Amino acid sequence: MAPVPHKPLLATVLGQRQERPPMWIMRQAGRYLPEYRETRTKAANFLELCYTPELAVEVTLQPLRRFDLDAAILFSDILVIPDALGQSVRFATGEGPLLEPLDEKAIDRLDGARALEHLAPVFETLRRLRAALPPEKTLIGFCGAPWTVATYMLGGRGSADQWTARRFALEHPKAFDRLIDVLVKTSIDYLAAQFEAGADVVQLFESWALNLDDTSFARQVIEPNRRIVEGLRQRVPNAPVIGFPRGAAGNLRHFAETTGVNALGIDFSTPIDFVNAHLPPDLPVQGNLDPLRLVVGGEAMESQARAILSAFKNRPHIFNLGHGIVPETPIGHVERLIEIVKAE
């Protein structure tokens, strides 16, 4: 039998500290790359780009051709799930995603029966990526966590405070629970199919975990994520999962312990000393450079990158940003950041 290739990033997710931390960058395939902008013109709209395997593979691989990164992350979007459930989803230039907001009756019309069929192009993209990637590179799949996806489905667009979704959850708890149930089941099916298509690890993006009190955080963030991890592992035993509860703050440890994720993504507002003081030393963490420091570069970036590397040197650590890379980021700054991490 041929030896199993070592994948440093996957090994770190599974709890093995590496000689130097592996790294990838959230949204590493995107608008800061001229080759992405060129490829984007070949699709009529953003969802078509996500659902066209040839193009999605191309943009997924573009950052690995430029940079010495340890993982490719599937090029897709968290809103393919509401699209697959039959909700109207479109992406407007300059406005971001726009959805037809759900009410109680619309929740009951969501149709999960054909969701995986609708998402078949995503699985084809993963199969092609698996065949194209060097054996030491980790392939990351993902989906949006239920609360984050629900905020878009209920509010119709992104929001600074998720007011519409937060109010709906309090005023219509039974209808909200029905929505979460649909999203949990569909997410389990979706992630299990991603593993079957070749993903090594998946990340749950809980991008709007902030702005919730403790009771709502437990109900709307922790419990749905726990159900997904548990349900996924019934289908894919020991499935490696990274949780990214942005804005969890003092709830980080509770989230990690209750959901059972293998590794925890840390946003850039979380103090690195807090992480080491409050999270188990053997829990792998991912993060957490402020994307704005990567835009500015120089000492503002380099000193903080080194501080993060030093703080997490004795635990399993994946170097990453504490949120997604932004379009204004100079490519030279990305190259310099990778040099710093690789030199450790």
pLDDT at 344 over 70: no
**Catalytic residue chosen out of the listed positions 27, 166, 227, 246:** 27
Is 189 known to be catalytic? no
pLDDT at 264 over 60: yes
pLDDT at 214 over 90: yes
Domain that holds residue 262: 8-343
End-to-end CA distance of the chain: 34
Q: By C-alpha distance, which of 214, 222, 268, 279 is closest to 246? A: 268
Q: Binning pLDDT at 50, 70 and 90, where does residue 62 land?
A: very high
Q: Name residue 243's beta-bridge partners.
A: 204, 264
In angstroms, rounded to a whole number, what is the distance separating the alpha carbons of residues 307 and 300?
A: 11
Per-residue confidence (pLDDT) for residue 267, from 0 to 100: 97
Report the domain count for the chain.
1
Q: Binning pLDDT at 50, 70 and 90, where does residue 40 land?
A: very high
Per-residue confidence (pLDDT) for residue 2, from 0 to 100: 47
pLDDT at 287 over 50: yes
**Do 56 and 75 form a contact (C-beta atoms < 8 A)?**
yes
| HSE, side-chain direction, 13 A CA sphere, residue 314 | 8
Query: What percentage of residues in the chain have a pLDDT greater than 70?
Result: 99
In angstroms, rounded to a whole number, what is the distance separating the alpha carbons of residues 84 and 242?
A: 23
| Position 254 in a domain | yes
Single-letter amino acid, residue 212: L
- The predicted model gives 251-273 an average pLDDT of 97
**Catalytic residue chosen out of the listed positions 77, 83, 189, 200:** 77
Q: Binning pLDDT at 50, 70 and 90, where does residue 88 land?
A: very high
Q: Name residue 263's beta-bridge partners.
A: 242
Per-residue confidence (pLDDT) for residue 94, from 0 to 100: 75
Q: Name residue 206's beta-bridge partners.
A: 245
pLDDT at 168 over 90: yes
Q: Binning pLDDT at 50, 70 and 90, where does residue 43 land?
A: very high
Single-letter amino acid, residue 217: F
pTM over 0.95: yes
Contacts of 163 (CB under 8 A, 6+ apart): 155
pLDDT at 3 over 70: no
84: DSSP letter = H
| Position 294 in a domain | yes
For 35, list phi and psi in degrees, rounded to 5: -70, -30
For residue 106 the two structure tokens come to: 């619309």
Q: Report H helices in 172-297.
A: 173-197, 214-217, 223-235, 252-259, 272-278, 291-296
| Position 266 in a domain | yes
- The more confidently predicted of residues 319 and 344 is 319
| Position 327 in a domain | yes
| Position 3 in a domain | no
**Catalytic residue chosen out of the listed positions 32, 51, 152, 190:** 152
In terms of C-beta density within 10 A (0-12 exposed, 13-18 middle, 19 or more buried), how is residue 116 classed? middle
- The predicted model gives 272-277 an average pLDDT of 96
Per-residue confidence (pLDDT) for residue 306, from 0 to 100: 98
- The predicted model gives 308-319 an average pLDDT of 97
For residue 50, give the H/E element and its range: helix 46-51
Is 27 known to be catalytic? yes
In angstroms, rounded to a whole number, what is the distance separating the alpha carbons of residues 194 and 141?
A: 6
- Opening angle at CA 176, ends 116 and 77, nearest 5: 40
Is 152 known to be catalytic? yes
CATH assignment at residue 140: 3.20.20.210
- The more confidently predicted of residues 28 and 249 is 28
Q: Binning pLDDT at 50, 70 and 90, where does residue 5 land?
A: confident
Q: By C-alpha distance, which of 210, 196, 245 is closest to 225? A: 245
**Catalytic residue chosen out of the listed positions 40, 90, 219, 336:** 40
In angstroms, rounded to a whole number, what is the distance separating the alpha carbons of residues 43 and 48?
A: 6
Q: pLDDT tens, 91-129?
A: 987 778 999 999 999 999 999 999 999 999 999 999 999
For residue 117 the two structure tokens come to: 């069929």
Contacts of 158 (CB under 8 A, 6+ apart): 96, 97, 151, 152
- The predicted model gives 270-286 an average pLDDT of 96
For 91, the 3-state DSSP assignment is strand
Is 114 known to be catalytic? no
Per-residue confidence (pLDDT) for residue 100, from 0 to 100: 95
Q: Binning pLDDT at 50, 70 and 90, where does residue 4 land?
A: low
Q: pLDDT tens, 130-152?
A: 999 999 999 999 999 999 999 99
**Catalytic residue chosen out of the listed positions 20, 31, 178, 306:** 31
Per-chain mean pLDDT for the chain? 96
Torsion over CA of 223, 290, 335 and 265, rounded to 10 degrees? -20
| Position 185 in a domain | yes
Q: pLDDT tens, 27-37?
A: 999 999 999 99
| Position 274 in a domain | yes
Q: 292: how many CB neighbours lie within 10 A of its CB?
A: 15
| Position 2 in a domain | no
Is 111 known to be catalytic? no
